[in-house]
Amino acid sequence: MRNKLSRFAIPYVVWMALFVVAPIIMVVIYAFTSANGGFTLANFARMGTYGVVFVRSFKLALIATAICLLIGYPVSYMLSKEGDRFQRIAMVLIMLPMWMNFLLRTYSWMSILENNGLLNQFFQKIGVIAAYNSIFGTNIKYFHMIGTPGAVVLGMVYNYLPFMILPIYSVIIKLDHSLLEAARDLGANTFNVFRRVILPLSLPGVLSGITMVFVPAVSTFAISQMLGGGTQMLLGDLIEQQYMGGAYNPHLGAAISLVMMIIVVVCMWVMNRFGEGEEQAVML
Partner 1 sequence: MKKTLALALAMMMAATMILTGCGGNSDTEERVVNVCSWGEYIDESLIDEFEEQTGIKVNYQTAESNEALYSLLKTGAGDYDVIVPSDYMIARLIDEGMLAELDYSNIPNYALIDDQYKGLSYDPDNKYTVPYTWGTLGIIYNTTMVDEEITSWDAMFDPKYEGNVLMIRNSRDALAAALLDLGYSLNTTDESQIREAYDLLKTAKENGVYQAFVMDEVFQKMEGGNAAIAMYYAGDYLTMLENNEDLAFVVPEEGSNWFVDAMCVLKNAQHKTEAEEWINFIASTESNLANMDYIWYASPNAEALEQYPDYYAEEYGEDLDQDLYEIMAAPADVLARCELYVNLPSDTLTLYNDLWTELGI
* Residue 147 found at the interface with partner 1 (CB under 8 A): yes
Return the beta strands (E) in the chain as ranges: none
At residue 166, the 3 state secondary structure works out as helix
Q: Which of these ranges, 47-55, 174-182, 198-206, 259-267, lies near partner 1 under the rule CB under 8 A?
A: 47-55
Q: Is 114 in the site for partner 1 (CB under 8 A)?
A: yes
Binding-residue pattern over the window 221 to 260 for partner 1, x denoting contact by CB under 8 A: -----x--xxx-x---xx--xxxxxxxxxx----------
Among 111, 133, 189, 192, binds partner 1 (CB under 8 A): 111
The three-class DSSP label of residue 116 is coil
Task: Report, in Å, the least distance between residue 220 CB and partner 1.
Answer: 15
Euclidean distance between CA atoms 277 and 36, whole angstroms = 48
Of residues 1, 5, 104, 283, which one binds partner 1 by CB under 8 A?
1
Q: What distances in angstroms separate CA 152 from CA 55, 70, 144, 158, 233, one per listed residue?
A: 15, 18, 13, 10, 10
Alpha-carbon dihedral sign for residues 62, 66, 71, 73: positive
CA atoms of 203 and 167, how far apart (whole Å): 10
Name which position in 28, 91, 110, 173 contacts partner 1 (CB under 8 A).
110
Per-residue contact track with partner 1, 115 to 134, x per CB under 8 A? Answer: xxx-----------------
**Dihedral over alpha carbons 63, 67, 68, 70 (to 10 degrees):** 140
Q: Would you tell me which residues interact with partner 1 (CB under 8 A)?
A: 1, 7, 10-11, 13-14, 18, 49-50, 52-53, 110-111, 114-117, 144, 146-147, 226, 229-231, 233, 237-238, 241-250
